[in-house]
Amino acid sequence: MKRSLFFLVVLFVLGPSWGRAQSAAVVETSSSADSISVVMLPLANHTGRIKAVEMAERLICAFLDSVGVDCIDPQAIRPVLREHRIRAVGRIDRRGASILRQTTGARWFLIGSVDAFREAQPLEFGFSVRLVDARDLLVDAAASGGSSGHDLEGLFGTGRRRDIAMVARRAVDEVLTELWEGGRWKTSPAVAAPPRARCCIIPFDGSSRSWRDGDAVSGMMLSALLKAGYPCLEPGVVRETLLRRSKVFKGEIDLPSLEILTREDSIAYVITGTVEVYDGARGDSPASIPHVSVYARLLDAPTGRILDSWYDERTGRKGQTLFQRGRTYSLVDLMMDSLQRFVERIEKASADGEKHS
């Protein structure tokens, strides 16, 4: 993170009066051969715990540093966000992306959220992260995952993790390894192969215990779509497009807004829905397992037609075999299993829609 420290020093030297004229010096510096490749934006917090975000950002930065990624971390980029009044916690819009690209020379934005955090037994940590192309604001790669203190538990409680930092580090390393391999970012099949029709997500509504649950599941839905090879527009851009017409949606969208997304952002499919249950395991016993329930819809953006709707409810016991083998203890992993089943239906529904179009 040497470049991050240098960037922070530049900000302190220039002071709060740093403006567009002074920004040119940073542009010149960052446009060199060893220019900054990634700006990591502050993570969205869907847990209500400040410690969760602090721990996640620290672990992500440590991972990036260990693999040699030149990155501006959230602490270093926050003064720039304040200076230009950019709202970029867990998202980025066109205006913010343009300013950050000019002032840092970044090739990608690393954007994400902490979706599960529990310090009491059973320990739980889960998060989502996506790599967004700074030029066109399409998501190049995304992943979601989690870890529980019970994941590696054997007979008589052996192997159970009792340190939340260890649980969080395992989740961060596993998720980021999905995005980074062999010294480069692993792009989604949506980027590497001939593209499918472009998708976007309207944030899921949350009718469960917390209003944040819908936002958490929206990020996981994005990860599931990218993994299946669907190109997705950065959610912050979708929000920006709708806000220009004073529209904000959760779990639904009207036909005029679908027409706008089709015309301005070339969106073919819209996914939205409602999270009914998003409950992590409670209690120290291995018998305590997560429980999720979600309703989702696939919409044809040009016509507003519902191509598919789907409901799924499951607990960590689904897939369990003898001696509790195959049981899922991570809340985020359980929800991802559910959403990936929906994406399989999307593939069939979108293929049928193209046949009949």
Q: What is the CATH number of the domain that holds 173?
A: 3.40.50.10610
Q: Is the pTM of this model over 0.75?
A: yes
Contact 225, 345 (CB under 8 A): no
Task: Quote the number of domains for the chain.
Answer: 1
Contact 122, 149 (CB under 8 A): yes
For residue 276, what are the domain limits? 2-356
Contact 89, 42 (CB under 8 A): yes
Q: How far apart are CA 324 and CA 25, in angstroms?
A: 59
pLDDT in tens, the chain (357 residues): 545 554 544 444 444 333 333 332 232 333 333 345 899 999 999 998 999 999 999 999 999 999 989 899 999 999 999 999 999 999 999 999 999 999 999 999 999 999 999 888 788 999 999 999 999 999 999 999 998 866 555 444 544 556 899 999 999 999 999 999 878 888 877 666 656 789 999 999 987 677 789 999 999 999 999 999 899 999 999 999 999 999 999 999 999 999 999 999 999 999 999 999 999 877 666 567 889 999 999 999 999 999 999 999 999 766 554 445 556 788 999 999 999 999 999 888 776 655 545
